[in-house]
């Protein structure tokens, strides 16, 4: 038996979907434990591309059970659209999709509130406008509607009435879609989703007890964590490895290995500090060569050099045992590759993230420049065949964050990954 937690170690978009898909070949179950449809995990099989927002990335592999855990927020309509799209493409999840009854629903008024907050704010976060933040707000205010409420029409109506009354107290009653319309949509969605709604904690723990391999899939990235990220420019959940236990209902002693996915350079979507951001032709080069556009929104990603300072934070709060460095091939043509090792800030040197975190906006990166390898790595399948300078770059990352490199991704396809360690 083995359990692995895969998380993003940066600001998201590190390539978690591909890593989870590759590991799913040996997994009996894949569990999403946080976030919602603000995720966009991309998997390329042959020439076929799949972009998954809610369904776990193990869906594209035959056999693995796919679980949406209690730590997620679920847009019922979007989940059904994703299910139907996969079925049209030959992937039938009828017997292997499971949704926690304790997960909360993302409702139309959450999306309306999300957009309104972004439009009216003098300092917008840059959310996906998919209602994730407001859904989590209602969860913790105890006015949320849970997936299990879809199983009881009477209870669903009562929960919706309470949720609408709560929202109307501070936004006005006429702002959101009519409740009866939403109730009708949810009752129809509930009929289709009912076979998938279970106590997923019981199911997951059963798999673990039977000695099966379980893979936990985080969404977003550690630097977007609502507690440890660059607050307030963060997501609304905890995309760090310890939350896999809470967001799926297993004990901490059941988590064996934390694997962080680290992009070979750095990107960010939305607002917030980004000390190594490149607002020049090099940043544009990274964006185009790496196809750095959001899979949920289509927004261009901000691009910059790798930054070891927040990566140390990610290594610490996740308890990372290993890392997969993704998109190494994007750097293949560069003659030199700067890496940020520390910050200069108010006449002091910071090797760790400053407090308050708002000071990050003033941080001046201190770079160490490594030589590029000027060699195509996209077809390389072993460590020994990598250029020596590429090996040196990877070792520099290991030493800089204290986490061994377990794998290297050199392209989008499943076969374009070099494993240095057998994590399953």
Report residue 320 as tokens.
């990372």
12 marked as binding residue: yes
* 275: preceding bond cis by omega (within 30 degrees): no
Q: Do residues 252 and 245 make contact, with C-beta atoms less than 8 angstroms apart?
A: yes
Name the one residue in this structure whose structure tokens are 């972009």.
51
296 marked as binding residue: yes
38 marked as binding residue: yes
Name the one residue in this structure whose structure tokens are 């108010």.
346
200 marked as binding residue: no
Q: Do residues 38 and 299 make contact, with C-beta atoms less than 8 angstroms apart?
A: no
Residue 135 burial by CB count (10 A; 0-12/13-18/19+): exposed, middle or buried?
Answer: buried
411 marked as binding residue: yes
121 marked as binding residue: no
191 marked as binding residue: no
Instruction: Pick the catalytic residue from 21, 41, 159, 263.
Output: 41
The Cα–Cα gap between 281 and 406 comes to 32
42 marked as binding residue: yes
53 marked as binding residue: no
Query: CA dist 296 to 39, 54, 59, 206, 226, Å?
Result: 7, 11, 18, 33, 20
For 43-87, the DSSP string reads EEETTEEEEESSS-GGGGSSS-EEEE-TTBEE-HHHHHHHHHHHH
341 marked as binding residue: no
Residue 41 known to be catalytic: yes
Residue 139 known to be catalytic: yes
84 marked as binding residue: no
The Cα–Cα gap between 261 and 407 comes to 9
254 marked as binding residue: no
The radius of gyration of the chain's CA atoms, rounded to the nearest angstrom, is 21
267 marked as binding residue: no
409 marked as binding residue: yes
Report residue 151 as tokens.
């199983």
260 marked as binding residue: no
Query: CA dist 219 to 32, 170, 267, 349, 355, Å?
Result: 8, 30, 15, 32, 26
Chain centre distance of CA 370: 29
For 245-291, the DSSP string reads HHTTT--GGG--EEEEEEESSEEE-SSS--TTB--SHHHHHHHHHTT
DSSP secondary-structure letter at 205? H
15 marked as binding residue: yes
212 marked as binding residue: no
297 marked as binding residue: yes
The Cα–Cα gap between 373 and 380 comes to 13
Instruction: Pick the catalytic residue from 13, 75, 114, 138.
Output: 13
Output helix, strand, coil percentages for the chain, rounded to the nearest 5: 40, 20, 40
Instruction: Pick the catalytic residue from 53, 104, 139, 321.
Output: 139
201 marked as binding residue: no
39 marked as binding residue: yes
Residue 109 known to be catalytic: no
328 marked as binding residue: yes
14 marked as binding residue: yes
Binding site members for substrate: 295-301
Annotated binding site for IMP: 13-16, 38-41, 128, 142, 220, 235, 299
Annotated binding site for Mg(2+): 13, 40
Could you give the residue numbers annotated as active site?
13, 41, 139
Positions at the binding site for GTP: 12-18, 40-42, 301, 327-329, 409-411
Annotated binding residues, written as ranges, equal: 12-18, 38-42, 128, 142, 220, 235, 295-301, 327-329, 409-411
């Amino acid at each position: 038996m083995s359990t692995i937690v895969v998380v993003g170690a940066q600001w998201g978009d590190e390539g978690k979907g591909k890593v989870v898909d590759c590991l799913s070949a040996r997994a009996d179950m894949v569990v999403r434990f946080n976030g919602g449809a603000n995720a966009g995990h991309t998997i390329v099989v042959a020439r076929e591309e799949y972009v998954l927002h809610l369904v776990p990335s193990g869906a594209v592999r035959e056999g693995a059970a796919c679980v949406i855990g209690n730590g997620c927020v679920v847009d019922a309509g979007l989940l059904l659209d994703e299910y139907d799209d996969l079925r049209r493409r030959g992937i039938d999840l009828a017997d292997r999709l499971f949704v926690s009854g304790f997960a909360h629903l993302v409702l139309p008024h959450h999306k309306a509130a999300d957009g309104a907050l972004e439009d009216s704010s003098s300092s917008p976060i840059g959310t996906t406008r998919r209602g994730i933040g407001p859904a989590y707000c209602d969860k913790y205010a105890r006015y949320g509607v849970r997936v299990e409420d879809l199983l009881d029409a009477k209870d669903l109506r009562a929960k919706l009435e309470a949720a609408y009354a709560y929202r109307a107290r501070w936004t006005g009653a006429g702002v959101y879609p009519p409740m009866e319309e939403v109730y009708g949509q949810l009752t129809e969605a509930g009929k289709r989703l009912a076979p998938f709604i279970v106590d997923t904690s019981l199911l997951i723990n059963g798999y673990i007890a039977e000695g099966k391999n379980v893979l936990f899939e985080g969404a977003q990235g550690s630097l977007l964590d609502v507690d440890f990220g660059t607050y307030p420019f963060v997501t609304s959940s905890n995309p760090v490895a310890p939350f896999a236990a809470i967001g799926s209902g297993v004990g901490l002693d059941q988590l064996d290995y934390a694997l962080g996915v680290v992009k070979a350079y750095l990107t960010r979507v939305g607002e917030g500090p980004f000390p190594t951001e490149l607002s020049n032709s090099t940043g544009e080069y990274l964006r185009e060569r790496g196809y750095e556009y959001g899979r949920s929104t289509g927004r261009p990603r901000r691009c910059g050099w790798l930054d070891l300072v927040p990566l140390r934070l990610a290594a610490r709060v996740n308890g990372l045992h290993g890392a997969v460095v993704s998109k190494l091939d994007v750097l293949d043509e560069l003659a030199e590759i700067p890496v940020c090792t520390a910050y200069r800030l108010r006449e002091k040197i910071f090797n760790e993230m400053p407090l308050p975190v708002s000071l990050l906006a003033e941080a001046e990166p201190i770079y160490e420049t490594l030589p590029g390898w000027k060699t195509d790595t996209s077809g390389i399948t072993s460590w020994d065949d990598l250029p020596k300078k590429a090996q040196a770059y990877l070792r520099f990352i290991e030493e800089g964050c204290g986490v061994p490199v377990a794998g290297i991704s050199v392209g989008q396809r499943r076969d374009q990954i070099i494993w240095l360690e057998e994590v399953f």
